[in-house]
Amino acid sequence: MKHFQLKGEIRAKGNKAVIKAFRRQGLVPCNLYGAGMDNVLFTVNEKELKGLTHTPAAYIVDLELGGKTYTAVAHEYQWHPVNDNCLHVDFLSVDEKKPIAINVPLNITGHPVGAQAGGKFTKNARHLRISALMKDLPDQLDIDATPLELDKRMVAGDLKFDGIQILSDKNTIICSVKTTRAMQQAAAEAAKNA
């Protein structure tokens, strides 16, 4: 999985006025936590953070804070309800020896058999939550939809990847092919004329 470099400035715990002052300066307050370490409060530049927040890709984040580098994943974002600015980010410190839970984008390829027969193909999921060791984390999950027939769907429980455990609900629909109204009408006409 790709790494994303992010520099931050360590900050002291502050009240709402201090946090608002950071945001006016174009800084986003963040928190880094994980097993066996104290919470680290810091701020990052909002423009630099957009490289992480405004992309469908998933990243391992290399945080540079006060001369130390931490390996982490973005755990949770808080967004402004109106102007869609990032207000706060929680980062979770990760270890190369322990599995990491992260959302990974899906790359659906192939031309489904059902769509070739005239059905309507629909992508229902953009990403899945998976767990794997850092060395096994993929940039994306490649899924071949070619065998999908009419009125069939592919769910997360159908997928198997080496070294990866899928954490998303096994009933999460990945993609489906449905019979169109035109096909149903044609079938009804054919049945009437037979």
Where in the chain are the domains? 3-94, 101-188
pLDDT digits (tens, 9 = 90+) for 116-140: 988 999 999 999 999 999 889 999 9
Q: Which amino acid is at 134?
A: M
In CATH, which of 3.40.190.120, 3.40.50.12500, 2.60.40.420, 2.170.120.20 is domain 101-188? Answer: 2.170.120.20
- Gap between the Cα atoms of 176 and 117, Å rounded: 14
How much is the average pLDDT of 140-148?
A: 94
Instruction: Could you please state the CATH topology (level 3) that the domain comprising 3-94 is classified under.
Output: Ribosomal Protein L25; Chain P (2.40.240)
pTM of the model: 0.77
- Closest by alpha carbon to 28, among 85, 91, 83, 70? 85
pLDDT given at position 61: 94
pLDDT beyond 90 at 35: no
- Gap between the Cα atoms of 43 and 88, Å rounded: 9
pLDDT given at position 193: 81
Q: Which two tokens stand for residue 178?
A: 């449905």
Confidence of residue 14 (pLDDT cuts 50, 70, 90): confident
Same CATH fold assignment for domains 3-94 and 101-188:
no
pLDDT given at position 36: 82
